[in-house]
Amino acid sequence: MIDNTDEKDIELMFAEARRYDLLTAEQEQTIDTAKWAAVRQIFVLIASDKDLSRYLAQFCNECLCNPPQIQRFPNRDLHFVLRRELAALFKDGTHKTQSQQAAAKLGTLKTAEARVAYVEALALPASLTIGIAVAILRRSGGQFADTVADSIGHWQRHWLEPVPSFALSQELLTSIKRELRHYTAARDRLVMHNLRLVYSIAARYKGRGVGYLDLVQEGTLGLIRAAEKFEYEKGFRFSTYCFNWITQAVRRYVGDAGTLIRFPTHVQEQIGRLYKERYTEQARTGHEPDADTVALNAGMDPEKARELLQLRNLTVSLDAPKFDDDNETMGDGIIGETFGEASDDAEQASLGKFLTSAIGRLETNEREVVIARWGLQSGAPLSRAEIADKLGVSREWVRQLERTALKKLKGQGDVKYAFDDYRSSSNW
């Protein structure tokens, strides 16, 4: 159900969207040309100043030698944003050579024309270019809102060399601000004239445990990302290009927030297909079909279909009512646990000390993976992807190390004895 406040907000959104007509192909080309012209002009402005050129050279060197580490960021989102933007400039990235050349040459070249060639060769994404420009303005005392610049600011605190201060002329600062306004105006025009597409896609995912306004918000973020990356020269219409970005953002949010347990995207798609077939069959026959019928209609193995259909029944909200005609919730009947005794803390401390000793017998790489995977040293547990980013290796390498380390721990006699003793004392 949508309350009156939400209905008013939705009506205001629709009224705002109706103010912006759909763009023609020529209008999209004109807007996108203005957007990338502003980005390229920022390249020229950075290359025209020796201090900014040296800053960009140091920026590239840090990408190669000191990529951002997740534990140095206040939240994971900022880290992921920066890793996404810088991926091509890392030592294993697609623009590694250009990054190395820029790090070596930008600080020493005498002419602005020569420096521009190296800056343009980096082929920086528009969002990263704007983030760097905003970070530069912040170093000069300006205050501007930008998520990529926020991430760069946190990363710069841990650079191998101190970030240089800038003595920029007022004319240069004014020029950078002007190009930022031009870029923002062009990007926002693409966004505002396509908001109705966000509303249409978000409406398809209503009724999946997430509010419509939240879906619109996530879809709009996907639309903004599409507007930043869009290149008209590749031959696509923007409305075609942004469709996948909006859909991906909405679907990912539904998967993350729509249920208590998050399943991989392909599993969510399979579950959705099965439930769609079940509802269709129920509407056709008037009674609920069995798992074999649903699996047959979906073209899926019956055993796998049963497993997928059960996944939605793994959790129950504590706020759900016990009975249809009662206000008592499931959580009202849960008895709170008593405080633990002092002996419990001592037992846990002893067990932790023993586990640390056992892990110390592993190889260095195995030990790092196990400690990071389960947060054994006052840190939050990390996923395999986060550990791979932290160590600069592949996820498969982390998975193999984890499996080998656990096999070694399981094979240690004293570890097995301690586990059996703990299990018996815990009445497993």
160, part of any domain? yes
The verdict on 416 and 368 lying in the same domain is yes
**What residues have CB less than 8 Å from 69, skipping those under 6 apart?**
79, 158, 390
159, part of any domain? yes
The verdict on 243 and 156 lying in the same domain is no
The pLDDT mean for the chain works out to 84
The verdict on 183 and 238 lying in the same domain is no
Going by pLDDT thresholds of 50, 70 and 90, the confidence category of residue 415 is confident
Structural domain count, the chain:
4
Q: What pLDDT shows up at residue 2?
A: 46
**What residues have CB less than 8 Å from 346, skipping those under 6 apart?**
none
The verdict on 77 and 120 lying in the same domain is yes
From the number of C-beta atoms within 10 Å of its C-beta (0-12, 13-18, 19+), residue 253 rates as buried
pLDDT in tens, 122-167: 999 999 999 999 999 988 877 788 999 999 999 999 999 888 777 8
The verdict on 55 and 153 lying in the same domain is yes
Q: Give residue for tokens 């004109």.
A: 30
CATH of residue 270:
1.10.10
Closest by CA position to 237, among listed 183, 195, 299, 190: 190
9, part of any domain? no
d(CA 77, CA 71): 12
The verdict on 200 and 267 lying in the same domain is no
The verdict on 135 and 226 lying in the same domain is no
Residue type at 201? I
The verdict on 359 and 379 lying in the same domain is yes
324, part of any domain? no
334, part of any domain? no
The verdict on 87 and 180 lying in the same domain is yes
Q: What pLDDT shows up at residue 423?
A: 66
65, part of any domain? yes
303, part of any domain? yes
The verdict on 233 and 91 lying in the same domain is no
pLDDT higher than 70, residue 406: yes
d(CA 226, CA 244): 9
Counting residues of the chain whose pLDDT is more than 90, the rounded percentage is 42
pLDDT in tens, 363-396: 888 888 888 888 777 677 888 888 888 887 888 8
411, part of any domain? yes
CATH of residue 352:
1.10.10.10
Q: Which structure tokens are listed for 109?
A: 């070249």
Range of the structural domain that residue 385 is part of: 347-425
The pTM assigned to this predicted structure is 0.67
The verdict on 390 and 413 lying in the same domain is yes
